[in-house]
Amino acid sequence: MGSKGYKTGNPRIDKEIEELAAKYSTPQSRSYLQDLFMTVVKLHLDKADGRDLYLATSTLKELRHIFRVFSKYRDVRKVVMFGSHRASPKSEEYKMALEFAEEIVKKGFMVITGGGGGVMEAGNCGAATKGFAVKIKLPAELKPNPFVCKGEKLINVRYFFTRKLAFIKESDATVLFPGGFGTHDEGFEVLTLLETGKCSPRPLVFVEVPGKKYWKTWLGFLKKQLLAGGLLTEEEFSLFTVVGSIKEAVDEITGFYRNYHSIQYGRDVTVVRLNRKIPVKDLKRLSKKYKDIITGEILPSGPLPSEVRNKEFLGLPRICMKFNRKNYGRIIALIRDLNSCVCE
């Protein structure tokens, strides 16, 4: 059954939708497909005009294509790279982006870029066959950079919002080199999602070019204007890291997943999946350190019922806690502490 109470109000139509969903779904996907069909019919019943229908149809088609392409690679971690499309191949930004892509691929990651020039081009060049491009259709930039893998790893989209969703949903880390409006837009988007818990914890790395003060100036603005003005807290500076070398950037990303695997928010508890077990003595120590954001103790745990139903990483050890679902900067700090523990 679909979402309770989500009906057209017409018993005949509702029954037809239920039958259609049952015919083209699995038991696990049935409720979602039924709601999807219900939404499509409701658009008609609401007398959505041609522009609304075009937007809804185009968006769904783009998302379907994005999901289909990346579904084959979901077991491989990915880094999305941002930076200026104006960076020349002779610039330090370009050279560093190229080196970063080469080095992170050696660590088993894949790379996603926006498919344009500059830093994006360097990313695709360094990643080679391990690189994707989610390219926006722009009159001023019709073709992708020459290093994008043609075929399925080049995804062309019409809308920035579907592109940005792909960048976050299909990646596990975000790296930013100096850039313009688009780079800052992507950076602040990730910061906002991390701060509000709308995306899972991830490394967010700003790479400074040696000898320049691009991100240091930006960081100074955050501290002088937003932090001093009470618009940010010190805790929120845990959401990201500014580094001055490619080695630091690579270490930050690989270190983030040293023991931390992923997180699952349940109704009452938060479960953290791990690569290795954490000693109980360390859990007790961390329970005291993070008592400001959890109720009770951090304890070893089994999977949530939803994880069992979906068969999600059932072989991994877990810990659970009653997290207040507010202080996400502190959760990232906790993850860093989990990664520093001597595991069993």
Interval 313-329: pLDDT, tens: 999 999 999 999 999 99
Average pLDDT, the chain: 94
pLDDT at 344 over 70: no
Interval 74-95: pLDDT, tens: 999 999 999 999 999 999 999 9
Enter the pTM of the model: 0.94
Instruction: Report CA 272 to chain centroid distance, whole Å.
Output: 17
Interval 108-138: pLDDT, tens: 999 999 999 999 999 999 999 999 999 998 8
pLDDT at 4 over 80: no
Report how far residue 339's alpha carbon sits from residue 333's, in angstroms, rounded to the nearest whole number.
10
pLDDT at 1 over 70: no
Q: How confident is the model at residue 306 (pLDDT cuts 50, 70, 90)?
A: confident
Q: What percent of the chain has pLDDT over 70?
A: 98
Interval 31-77: pLDDT, tens: 999 999 999 999 999 999 999 999 999 999 999 999 999 999 999 99
Q: What is 78-256's CATH topology?
A: Rossmann fold (3.40.50)
pLDDT value at position 2? 65
